[in-house]
Protein backbone atom coordinates (compact mmCIF):
# COMPACT_ATOMS: atom_id res chain seq x y z
CA UNK A 1 0.00 0.00 0.00
CA UNK A 2 1.15 3.52 -0.75
CA UNK A 3 1.53 6.14 1.94
CA UNK A 4 -1.41 7.99 0.35
CA UNK A 5 -3.66 4.93 0.73
CA UNK A 6 -2.56 4.40 4.33
CA UNK A 7 -3.32 8.04 5.12
CA UNK A 8 -6.79 7.67 3.59
CA UNK A 9 -7.72 4.82 5.94
CA UNK A 10 -6.32 6.38 9.12
CA UNK A 11 -9.78 6.46 10.77
CA UNK A 12 -10.06 2.69 10.26
CA UNK A 13 -6.50 2.16 11.52
CA UNK A 14 -7.27 4.12 14.70
CA UNK A 15 -10.46 2.11 15.27
CA UNK A 16 -8.49 -1.12 14.74
CA UNK A 17 -5.63 0.01 16.99
CA UNK A 18 -7.82 1.09 19.91
CA UNK A 19 -8.77 -2.44 21.08
CA UNK A 20 -5.11 -3.49 20.90
CA UNK A 21 -4.10 -0.58 23.15
CA UNK A 22 -6.97 -1.37 25.53
CA UNK A 23 -5.84 -5.01 25.74
CA UNK A 24 -2.29 -3.88 26.56
CA UNK A 25 -3.59 -1.54 29.25
CA UNK A 26 -5.66 -4.38 30.74
CA UNK A 27 -2.53 -6.55 30.86
CA UNK A 28 -0.86 -3.89 33.02
CA UNK A 29 -3.82 -2.98 35.25
CA UNK A 30 -7.59 -3.11 34.97
CA UNK A 31 -9.18 0.32 35.33
CA UNK A 32 -12.65 0.88 33.95
CA UNK A 33 -12.49 4.68 34.11
CA UNK A 34 -9.14 4.77 32.28
CA UNK A 35 -10.48 2.42 29.59
CA UNK A 36 -13.57 4.60 29.20
CA UNK A 37 -11.56 7.78 28.64
CA UNK A 38 -9.09 6.00 26.39
CA UNK A 39 -11.99 4.76 24.26
CA UNK A 40 -13.49 8.26 23.96
CA UNK A 41 -10.06 9.65 23.02
CA UNK A 42 -9.67 7.02 20.28
CA UNK A 43 -13.11 7.87 18.87
CA UNK A 44 -12.27 11.59 18.91
CA UNK A 45 -9.00 10.91 17.05
CA UNK A 46 -10.78 8.77 14.44
CA UNK A 47 -13.43 11.47 13.97
CA UNK A 48 -10.73 14.14 13.58
CA UNK A 49 -8.96 12.17 10.85
CA UNK A 50 -12.23 11.72 8.98
CA UNK A 51 -12.23 15.48 8.35
CA UNK A 52 -8.57 15.32 7.34
CA UNK A 53 -9.16 12.36 5.04
CA UNK A 54 -12.06 14.18 3.35
CA UNK A 55 -9.46 16.44 1.69
CA UNK A 56 -7.93 13.39 -0.07
CA UNK A 57 -11.07 11.72 -1.43
CA UNK A 58 -11.87 9.75 -3.43
CA UNK A 59 -9.24 7.08 -2.83
CA UNK A 60 -9.48 3.45 -3.94
CA UNK A 61 -7.56 1.19 -1.58
CA UNK A 62 -6.38 -1.96 -3.31
CA UNK A 63 -9.69 -2.36 -5.17
CA UNK A 64 -11.51 -3.54 -2.06
CA UNK A 65 -12.19 -0.29 -0.20
CA UNK A 66 -13.35 3.06 -1.52
CA UNK A 67 -12.77 6.10 0.68
CA UNK A 68 -15.00 8.90 -0.56
CA UNK A 69 -17.31 11.48 0.99
CA UNK A 70 -20.15 8.94 1.14
CA UNK A 71 -18.17 6.33 3.08
CA UNK A 72 -16.58 8.97 5.34
CA UNK A 73 -20.01 10.38 6.23
CA UNK A 74 -21.28 6.94 7.20
CA UNK A 75 -18.11 6.09 9.15
CA UNK A 76 -18.42 9.44 10.94
CA UNK A 77 -22.05 8.66 11.74
CA UNK A 78 -21.07 5.25 13.12
CA UNK A 79 -18.23 6.67 15.23
CA UNK A 80 -20.50 9.41 16.63
CA UNK A 81 -23.10 6.80 17.52
CA UNK A 82 -20.55 4.68 19.37
CA UNK A 83 -19.47 7.81 21.25
CA UNK A 84 -23.01 8.07 22.64
CA UNK A 85 -23.14 4.32 23.30
CA UNK A 86 -20.02 4.63 25.48
CA UNK A 87 -21.45 7.60 27.38
CA UNK A 88 -24.66 5.68 28.05
CA UNK A 89 -22.84 2.44 28.91
CA UNK A 90 -20.31 3.64 31.49
CA UNK A 91 -22.46 3.49 34.62
CA UNK A 92 -24.41 0.47 33.37
CA UNK A 93 -21.19 -1.50 32.84
CA UNK A 94 -19.69 -0.15 36.09
CA UNK A 95 -22.26 -2.27 37.95
CA UNK A 96 -21.24 -5.35 35.96
CA UNK A 97 -19.91 -7.97 38.36
CA UNK A 98 -17.50 -9.47 35.85
CA UNK A 99 -14.92 -7.96 33.50
CA UNK A 100 -15.83 -4.50 32.25
CA UNK A 101 -12.99 -3.45 29.95
CA UNK A 102 -13.62 -6.18 27.36
CA UNK A 103 -16.94 -4.51 26.57
CA UNK A 104 -15.09 -1.62 24.92
CA UNK A 105 -12.88 -3.98 22.94
CA UNK A 106 -15.92 -5.76 21.51
CA UNK A 107 -17.64 -2.47 20.64
CA UNK A 108 -14.53 -1.25 18.80
CA UNK A 109 -14.24 -4.50 16.84
CA UNK A 110 -17.91 -4.32 15.88
CA UNK A 111 -17.47 -0.67 14.89
CA UNK A 112 -14.50 -1.62 12.73
CA UNK A 113 -16.55 -4.29 10.95
CA UNK A 114 -19.41 -1.88 10.33
CA UNK A 115 -17.01 0.84 9.11
CA UNK A 116 -15.31 -1.58 6.71
CA UNK A 117 -18.73 -2.43 5.26
CA UNK A 118 -19.52 1.28 4.87
CA UNK A 119 -16.42 1.69 2.72
CA UNK A 120 -16.57 -1.70 0.95
CA UNK A 121 -16.37 -1.82 -2.82
CA UNK A 122 -15.71 -5.55 -3.13
CA UNK A 123 -17.32 -8.76 -1.90
CA UNK A 124 -14.19 -9.65 0.09
CA UNK A 125 -14.23 -6.46 2.17
CA UNK A 126 -18.01 -6.71 2.56
CA UNK A 127 -17.80 -10.24 3.95
CA UNK A 128 -14.80 -9.54 6.19
CA UNK A 129 -16.54 -6.51 7.67
CA UNK A 130 -19.77 -8.44 8.18
CA UNK A 131 -18.07 -11.32 9.96
CA UNK A 132 -16.03 -9.02 12.19
CA UNK A 133 -19.24 -7.25 13.15
CA UNK A 134 -21.22 -10.46 13.69
CA UNK A 135 -18.62 -12.24 15.80
CA UNK A 136 -18.34 -9.23 18.09
CA UNK A 137 -22.13 -9.06 18.43
CA UNK A 138 -22.31 -12.71 19.56
CA UNK A 139 -20.25 -11.82 22.61
CA UNK A 140 -21.88 -8.44 23.22
CA UNK A 141 -25.38 -9.91 23.27
CA UNK A 142 -24.34 -12.58 25.79
CA UNK A 143 -22.13 -10.20 27.79
CA UNK A 144 -24.38 -10.13 30.88
CA UNK A 145 -23.44 -13.59 32.12
CA UNK A 146 -25.81 -13.51 35.09
CA UNK A 147 -28.77 -13.29 32.72
CA UNK A 148 -29.83 -16.63 31.23
CA UNK A 149 -31.93 -14.83 28.60
CA UNK A 150 -28.86 -12.92 27.48
CA UNK A 151 -26.89 -16.14 26.99
CA UNK A 152 -29.78 -17.74 25.14
CA UNK A 153 -30.10 -14.70 22.88
CA UNK A 154 -26.39 -14.82 22.11
CA UNK A 155 -26.66 -18.44 21.00
CA UNK A 156 -29.76 -17.67 18.92
CA UNK A 157 -27.98 -14.86 17.16
CA UNK A 158 -24.91 -17.05 16.61
CA UNK A 159 -26.96 -19.72 14.83
CA UNK A 160 -29.15 -17.38 12.78
CA UNK A 161 -26.34 -15.00 11.81
CA UNK A 162 -24.21 -17.95 10.71
CA UNK A 163 -27.01 -19.20 8.47
CA UNK A 164 -27.56 -15.73 6.99
CA UNK A 165 -23.81 -15.39 6.33
CA UNK A 166 -23.92 -18.71 4.49
CA UNK A 167 -26.73 -17.39 2.28
CA UNK A 168 -24.76 -14.22 1.61
CA UNK A 169 -21.55 -16.08 0.81
CA UNK A 170 -23.31 -18.54 -1.50
CA UNK A 171 -24.98 -15.62 -3.29
CA UNK A 172 -21.59 -13.99 -3.83
CA UNK A 173 -20.24 -17.27 -5.20
CA UNK A 174 -23.10 -17.53 -7.72
CA UNK A 175 -22.56 -13.95 -8.92
CA UNK A 176 -18.84 -14.65 -9.31
CA UNK A 177 -19.71 -17.79 -11.26
CA UNK A 178 -22.02 -15.76 -13.50
CA UNK A 179 -19.75 -12.76 -14.18
CA UNK A 180 -16.26 -13.65 -12.98
CA UNK A 181 -16.12 -10.44 -10.94
CA UNK A 182 -16.20 -9.66 -7.24
CA UNK A 183 -15.73 -5.90 -7.22
CA UNK A 184 -18.88 -3.78 -7.44
CA UNK A 185 -17.75 -1.83 -10.52
CA UNK A 186 -16.83 -4.99 -12.40
CA UNK A 187 -20.17 -6.62 -11.54
CA UNK A 188 -22.01 -3.49 -12.69
CA UNK A 189 -20.18 -3.50 -16.03
CA UNK A 190 -20.79 -7.22 -16.57
CA UNK A 191 -24.46 -6.85 -15.62
CA UNK A 192 -24.89 -3.98 -18.08
CA UNK A 193 -23.46 -6.01 -20.97
CA UNK A 194 -24.72 -9.52 -20.16
CA UNK A 195 -27.93 -8.74 -18.27
CA UNK A 196 -29.44 -10.79 -15.45
CA UNK A 197 -29.32 -14.55 -15.88
CA UNK A 198 -31.04 -17.20 -13.79
CA UNK A 199 -27.75 -17.87 -12.02
CA UNK A 200 -27.05 -14.23 -11.16
CA UNK A 201 -30.67 -13.58 -10.12
CA UNK A 202 -30.42 -16.50 -7.69
CA UNK A 203 -27.19 -15.02 -6.39
CA UNK A 204 -28.77 -11.59 -5.89
CA UNK A 205 -31.74 -13.19 -4.13
CA UNK A 206 -29.43 -15.02 -1.70
CA UNK A 207 -27.52 -11.81 -1.01
CA UNK A 208 -30.82 -10.05 -0.27
CA UNK A 209 -31.57 -12.79 2.27
CA UNK A 210 -28.29 -12.05 4.06
CA UNK A 211 -28.87 -8.31 3.91
CA UNK A 212 -32.47 -8.73 5.03
CA UNK A 213 -31.35 -10.62 8.12
CA UNK A 214 -28.82 -7.97 9.14
CA UNK A 215 -31.36 -5.15 8.61
CA UNK A 216 -34.12 -7.24 10.26
CA UNK A 217 -36.46 -7.00 7.30
CA UNK A 218 -39.55 -9.22 7.17
CA UNK A 219 -39.48 -12.25 6.84
CA UNK A 220 -35.91 -12.35 8.21
CA UNK A 221 -36.83 -10.48 11.38
CA UNK A 222 -37.65 -13.25 13.85
CA UNK A 223 -34.44 -12.78 15.85
CA UNK A 224 -35.02 -9.09 16.50
CA UNK A 225 -37.50 -8.92 19.45
CA UNK A 226 -35.79 -11.68 21.44
CA UNK A 227 -32.32 -10.18 20.95
CA UNK A 228 -33.45 -6.63 21.72
CA UNK A 229 -35.19 -7.76 24.89
CA UNK A 230 -32.45 -10.04 26.22
CA UNK A 231 -29.36 -7.94 25.46
CA UNK A 232 -28.24 -5.15 27.79
CA UNK A 233 -29.95 -1.84 26.96
CA UNK A 234 -26.75 -0.09 25.68
CA UNK A 235 -25.95 -3.11 23.51
CA UNK A 236 -29.49 -3.09 22.13
CA UNK A 237 -29.03 0.57 21.16
CA UNK A 238 -25.79 -0.39 19.42
CA UNK A 239 -27.46 -3.25 17.54
CA UNK A 240 -30.38 -1.04 16.47
CA UNK A 241 -28.07 1.61 15.05
CA UNK A 242 -24.40 0.92 14.34
CA UNK A 243 -24.72 -2.74 13.39
CA UNK A 244 -27.32 -1.87 10.75
CA UNK A 245 -25.77 1.35 9.49
CA UNK A 246 -22.78 -0.28 7.82
CA UNK A 247 -24.95 -2.83 6.03
CA UNK A 248 -27.35 -0.15 4.79
CA UNK A 249 -24.42 1.91 3.48
CA UNK A 250 -22.94 -0.96 1.48
CA UNK A 251 -26.39 -1.92 0.17
CA UNK A 252 -26.93 1.65 -1.03
CA UNK A 253 -23.54 1.73 -2.76
CA UNK A 254 -23.91 -1.71 -4.34
CA UNK A 255 -27.41 -1.05 -5.66
CA UNK A 256 -26.46 2.40 -6.97
CA UNK A 257 -23.35 1.13 -8.77
CA UNK A 258 -25.38 -1.67 -10.36
CA UNK A 259 -28.05 0.87 -11.33
CA UNK A 260 -30.37 -1.75 -9.86
CA UNK A 261 -33.47 0.38 -10.26
CA UNK A 262 -33.66 -0.54 -13.94
CA UNK A 263 -34.05 -4.26 -13.15
CA UNK A 264 -37.67 -5.02 -12.28
CA UNK A 265 -36.89 -8.33 -10.62
CA UNK A 266 -34.60 -6.68 -8.05
CA UNK A 267 -36.91 -3.74 -7.34
CA UNK A 268 -39.83 -6.16 -6.95
CA UNK A 269 -37.94 -8.15 -4.31
CA UNK A 270 -37.10 -5.03 -2.32
CA UNK A 271 -40.63 -3.67 -2.70
CA UNK A 272 -42.06 -6.85 -1.19
CA UNK A 273 -39.60 -6.63 1.71
CA UNK A 274 -40.46 -2.96 2.28
CA UNK A 275 -44.24 -3.51 2.33
CA UNK A 276 -43.97 -6.60 4.53
CA UNK A 277 -41.63 -4.83 6.97
CA UNK A 278 -43.80 -1.71 7.29
CA UNK A 279 -47.02 -3.64 7.87
CA UNK A 280 -45.72 -6.55 9.97
CA UNK A 281 -43.43 -4.42 12.15
CA UNK A 282 -46.21 -2.03 13.13
CA UNK A 283 -48.90 -4.68 13.61
CA UNK A 284 -46.73 -6.87 15.84
CA UNK A 285 -45.67 -3.84 17.89
CA UNK A 286 -49.33 -3.28 18.75
CA UNK A 287 -49.40 -6.60 20.63
CA UNK A 288 -46.41 -5.86 22.88
CA UNK A 289 -46.26 -4.64 26.47
CA UNK A 290 -42.47 -4.72 26.63
CA UNK A 291 -40.86 -1.40 25.65
CA UNK A 292 -37.74 -3.04 24.21
CA UNK A 293 -39.84 -5.38 22.08
CA UNK A 294 -41.96 -2.43 20.92
CA UNK A 295 -38.79 -0.63 19.83
CA UNK A 296 -37.59 -3.85 18.18
CA UNK A 297 -40.67 -4.20 15.99
CA UNK A 298 -40.59 -0.45 15.45
CA UNK A 299 -37.06 -0.70 14.04
CA UNK A 300 -38.30 -3.30 11.54
CA UNK A 301 -40.90 -0.87 10.23
CA UNK A 302 -38.40 2.02 10.11
CA UNK A 303 -36.06 0.12 7.81
CA UNK A 304 -39.11 -0.64 5.69
CA UNK A 305 -39.63 3.13 5.45
CA UNK A 306 -35.98 3.57 4.47
CA UNK A 307 -36.41 1.05 1.67
CA UNK A 308 -39.05 3.33 0.13
CA UNK A 309 -36.42 6.07 -0.27
CA UNK A 310 -33.86 3.45 -1.30
CA UNK A 311 -36.14 2.26 -4.12
CA UNK A 312 -36.82 5.84 -5.25
CA UNK A 313 -33.23 5.99 -6.49
CA UNK A 314 -31.36 8.97 -7.84
CA UNK A 315 -30.05 11.86 -5.80
CA UNK A 316 -33.26 12.25 -3.85
CA UNK A 317 -33.38 8.57 -2.93
CA UNK A 318 -29.82 8.61 -1.56
CA UNK A 319 -30.39 11.92 0.24
CA UNK A 320 -33.69 10.96 1.88
CA UNK A 321 -32.59 7.48 2.96
CA UNK A 322 -29.32 8.81 4.41
CA UNK A 323 -31.10 11.66 6.21
CA UNK A 324 -33.69 9.25 7.61
CA UNK A 325 -30.97 6.88 8.80
CA UNK A 326 -29.13 9.73 10.56
CA UNK A 327 -32.20 10.94 12.45
CA UNK A 328 -33.18 7.34 13.20
CA UNK A 329 -29.76 6.80 14.80
CA UNK A 330 -30.24 9.87 17.00
CA UNK A 331 -33.74 8.84 18.06
CA UNK A 332 -33.16 5.14 18.67
CA UNK A 333 -29.96 5.79 20.64
CA UNK A 334 -31.84 8.32 22.75
CA UNK A 335 -34.66 5.86 23.35
CA UNK A 336 -32.42 3.01 24.45
CA UNK A 337 -30.27 5.49 26.35
CA UNK A 338 -33.26 6.37 28.51
CA UNK A 339 -34.00 2.68 29.03
CA UNK A 340 -30.35 2.29 30.10
CA UNK A 341 -30.58 5.16 32.58
CA UNK A 342 -33.70 3.71 34.18
CA UNK A 343 -32.22 0.21 34.34
CA UNK A 344 -29.54 -1.48 36.37
CA UNK A 345 -27.58 -4.70 36.16
CA UNK A 346 -30.26 -6.75 37.93
CA UNK A 347 -33.44 -5.33 36.39
CA UNK A 348 -34.17 -3.38 33.24
CA UNK A 349 -37.02 -0.91 32.88
CA UNK A 350 -38.57 -2.68 29.93
CA UNK A 351 -42.27 -3.10 30.75
CA UNK A 352 -44.73 -0.29 29.98
CA UNK A 353 -45.92 -0.37 33.58
CA UNK A 354 -42.35 0.46 34.67
CA UNK A 355 -42.87 3.89 33.13
CA UNK A 356 -46.22 4.58 34.76
CA UNK A 357 -46.18 8.01 36.38
CA UNK A 358 -42.57 8.63 35.35
CA UNK A 359 -43.29 12.28 34.50
CA UNK A 360 -44.31 12.99 38.10
CA UNK A 361 -41.14 11.41 39.39
CA UNK A 362 -38.47 12.08 36.76
CA UNK A 363 -39.94 14.85 34.55
CA UNK A 364 -36.74 15.56 32.58
CA UNK A 365 -36.34 11.91 31.59
CA UNK A 366 -40.05 11.62 30.74
CA UNK A 367 -39.95 14.71 28.51
CA UNK A 368 -36.82 13.45 26.73
CA UNK A 369 -38.38 10.03 26.15
CA UNK A 370 -41.55 11.70 24.87
CA UNK A 371 -39.50 13.66 22.34
CA UNK A 372 -37.84 10.43 21.17
CA UNK A 373 -41.15 8.60 20.82
CA UNK A 374 -42.74 11.53 18.98
CA UNK A 375 -39.78 11.53 16.59
CA UNK A 376 -40.15 7.80 15.95
CA UNK A 377 -43.86 8.38 15.31
CA UNK A 378 -43.13 11.27 12.93
CA UNK A 379 -44.81 14.04 14.91
CA UNK A 380 -44.09 17.59 13.57
CA UNK A 381 -41.23 19.63 15.09
CA UNK A 382 -39.14 16.49 15.54
CA UNK A 383 -36.38 15.11 13.36
CA UNK A 384 -38.43 11.99 12.68
CA UNK A 385 -41.14 14.07 11.03
CA UNK A 386 -38.64 15.69 8.65
CA UNK A 387 -37.13 12.28 7.87
CA UNK A 388 -40.51 10.74 7.10
CA UNK A 389 -41.54 13.75 5.02
CA UNK A 390 -38.30 13.48 3.02
CA UNK A 391 -38.90 9.76 2.41
CA UNK A 392 -42.49 10.39 1.32
CA UNK A 393 -41.32 13.13 -1.04
CA UNK A 394 -38.78 10.74 -2.60
CA UNK A 395 -41.43 8.06 -3.02
CA UNK A 396 -43.89 10.51 -4.61
CA UNK A 397 -41.16 11.90 -6.87
CA UNK A 398 -40.45 8.35 -8.12
CA UNK A 399 -44.20 7.53 -8.42
CA UNK A 400 -43.95 4.64 -5.96
CA UNK A 401 -47.60 5.07 -5.04
CA UNK A 402 -48.18 1.66 -3.49
CA UNK A 403 -45.19 2.04 -1.19
CA UNK A 404 -46.17 5.61 -0.30
CA UNK A 405 -49.73 4.59 0.63
CA UNK A 406 -48.49 1.68 2.75
CA UNK A 407 -45.97 3.97 4.46
CA UNK A 408 -48.66 6.51 5.33
CA UNK A 409 -51.03 3.84 6.66
CA UNK A 410 -48.31 2.07 8.64
CA UNK A 411 -47.22 5.36 10.22
CA UNK A 412 -50.75 5.93 11.49
CA UNK A 413 -50.75 2.47 13.09
CA UNK A 414 -47.41 3.26 14.71
CA UNK A 415 -48.86 6.26 16.52
CA UNK A 416 -50.86 3.99 18.81
CA UNK A 417 -48.08 2.00 20.43
CA UNK A 418 -45.81 5.04 20.82
CA UNK A 419 -48.62 6.98 22.49
CA UNK A 420 -49.27 4.04 24.85
CA UNK A 421 -45.85 4.60 26.39
CA UNK A 422 -46.32 8.39 26.50
CA UNK A 423 -49.72 8.08 28.18
CA UNK A 424 -48.26 5.67 30.75
CA UNK A 425 -45.50 8.14 31.64
CA UNK A 426 -47.95 11.01 32.17
CA UNK A 427 -50.56 8.98 34.07
CA UNK A 428 -50.76 9.84 37.75
CA UNK A 429 -50.58 6.85 40.04
CA UNK A 430 -50.36 6.32 43.78
CA UNK A 431 -48.18 3.28 43.23
CA UNK A 432 -45.48 4.50 40.90
CA UNK A 433 -43.10 1.72 39.99
CA UNK A 434 -39.63 2.50 41.31
CA UNK A 435 -37.62 2.73 38.12
CA UNK A 436 -34.51 4.83 38.02
CA UNK A 437 -33.72 4.64 41.75
CA UNK A 438 -30.26 3.31 40.97
CA UNK A 439 -27.37 5.72 40.50
CA UNK A 440 -27.48 5.60 36.70
CA UNK A 441 -27.95 9.37 36.66
CA UNK A 442 -24.30 10.03 35.91
CA UNK A 443 -23.14 13.12 34.10
CA UNK A 444 -22.13 11.10 31.02
CA UNK A 445 -25.48 9.36 30.53
CA UNK A 446 -27.56 12.46 31.22
CA UNK A 447 -25.35 14.55 28.93
CA UNK A 448 -25.74 12.00 26.15
CA UNK A 449 -29.53 11.92 26.45
CA UNK A 450 -29.62 15.71 26.67
CA UNK A 451 -27.58 16.17 23.50
CA UNK A 452 -29.62 13.59 21.61
CA UNK A 453 -32.88 15.26 22.70
CA UNK A 454 -31.60 18.65 21.52
CA UNK A 455 -30.61 17.13 18.17
CA UNK A 456 -34.05 15.57 17.75
CA UNK A 457 -35.70 18.96 18.19
CA UNK A 458 -33.03 20.92 16.31
CA UNK A 459 -33.18 18.78 13.16
CA UNK A 460 -36.95 18.85 13.38
CA UNK A 461 -36.98 22.66 13.33
CA UNK A 462 -33.88 23.36 11.25
CA UNK A 463 -32.83 20.34 9.16
CA UNK A 464 -31.27 22.44 6.37
CA UNK A 465 -27.67 22.10 7.58
CA UNK A 466 -27.70 18.31 7.67
CA UNK A 467 -29.62 18.14 4.40
CA UNK A 468 -27.06 20.33 2.64
CA UNK A 469 -24.21 18.10 3.80
CA UNK A 470 -26.05 14.99 2.63
CA UNK A 471 -26.91 16.61 -0.72
CA UNK A 472 -23.21 17.37 -1.27
CA UNK A 473 -22.35 13.76 -0.49
CA UNK A 474 -25.06 12.42 -2.81
CA UNK A 475 -23.84 14.55 -5.73
CA UNK A 476 -20.29 13.29 -5.36
CA UNK A 477 -21.51 9.72 -4.84
CA UNK A 478 -23.75 9.31 -7.90
Q: What is the pLDDT of residues 253-275, one digit of tens each?
A: 888 888 878 888 888 999 999 99
pLDDT reported for residue 435: 52
pLDDT bucket at 22, cuts 50 / 70 / 90 = very high
Residue 403, exposed/middle/buried by CB under 10 A (0-12, 13-18, 19+)?
buried
Does the residue 143 lie in any domain?
no
Does the residue 133 lie in any domain?
no
Q: Which of 385, 379, 288, 273 is nearest to 327 (CA)?
A: 385
Does the residue 226 lie in any domain?
no
CA angle 409, 239, 459 (to 5 degrees): 55
Q: What is the pLDDT of residues 49-69, one digit of tens each?
A: 998 887 777 777 777 888 888
Judge whether residue 432 has pLDDT over 60.
Answer: no
| Calpha distance 50→12 (Å, rounded) | 9
Does the residue 124 lie in any domain?
no
Q: What is the pLDDT of residues 110-129, one digit of tens each?
A: 999 999 999 988 899 999 99
Residue 408, domain extent: 260-478
Does the residue 163 lie in any domain?
no
Q: Which of 213, 215, 214, 228 is nearest to 294 (CA)?
A: 228
| Calpha distance 219→215 (Å, rounded) | 11
Question: Could you give the number of structural domains in the chain?
Answer: 1
Q: Which of 42, 274, 259, 9 is nearest to 119 (CA)?
A: 9
Does the residue 421 lie in any domain?
yes
| Calpha distance 174→350 (Å, rounded) | 43
pLDDT bucket at 363, cuts 50 / 70 / 90 = confident
Judge whether residue 91 has pLDDT over 80.
Answer: yes
Q: How far from the centroid of its chain's Cα atoms is residue 237's Cα?
A: 8
Does the residue 367 lie in any domain?
yes
Beta bridge partner(s), residue 65: 61, 120
Q: What is the pLDDT of residues 295-324, one digit of tens each?
A: 999 999 999 999 999 998 888 888 999 999
Does the residue 406 lie in any domain?
yes
| Calpha distance 234→89 (Å, rounded) | 6
In this structure, the dihedral spanned by the alpha carbons of residues 139, 145, 150 and 154, taken in order and rounded to 10 degrees, is 30
Amino acid sequence: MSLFEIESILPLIIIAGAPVIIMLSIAVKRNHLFTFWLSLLALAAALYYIFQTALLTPVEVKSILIIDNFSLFYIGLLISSVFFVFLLSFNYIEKHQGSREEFYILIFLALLGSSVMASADHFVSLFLGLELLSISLYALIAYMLNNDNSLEAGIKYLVLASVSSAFLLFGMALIYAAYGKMDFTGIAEALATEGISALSLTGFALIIVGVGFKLALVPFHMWTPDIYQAAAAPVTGFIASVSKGGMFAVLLRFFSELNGHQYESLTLLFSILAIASMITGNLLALLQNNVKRILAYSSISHFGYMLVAFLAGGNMGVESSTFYLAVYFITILGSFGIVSILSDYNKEAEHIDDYKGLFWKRPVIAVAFTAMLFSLAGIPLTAGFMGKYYVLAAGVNASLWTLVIVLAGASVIGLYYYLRIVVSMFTQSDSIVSVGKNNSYTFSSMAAVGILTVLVIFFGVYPAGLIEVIQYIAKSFL
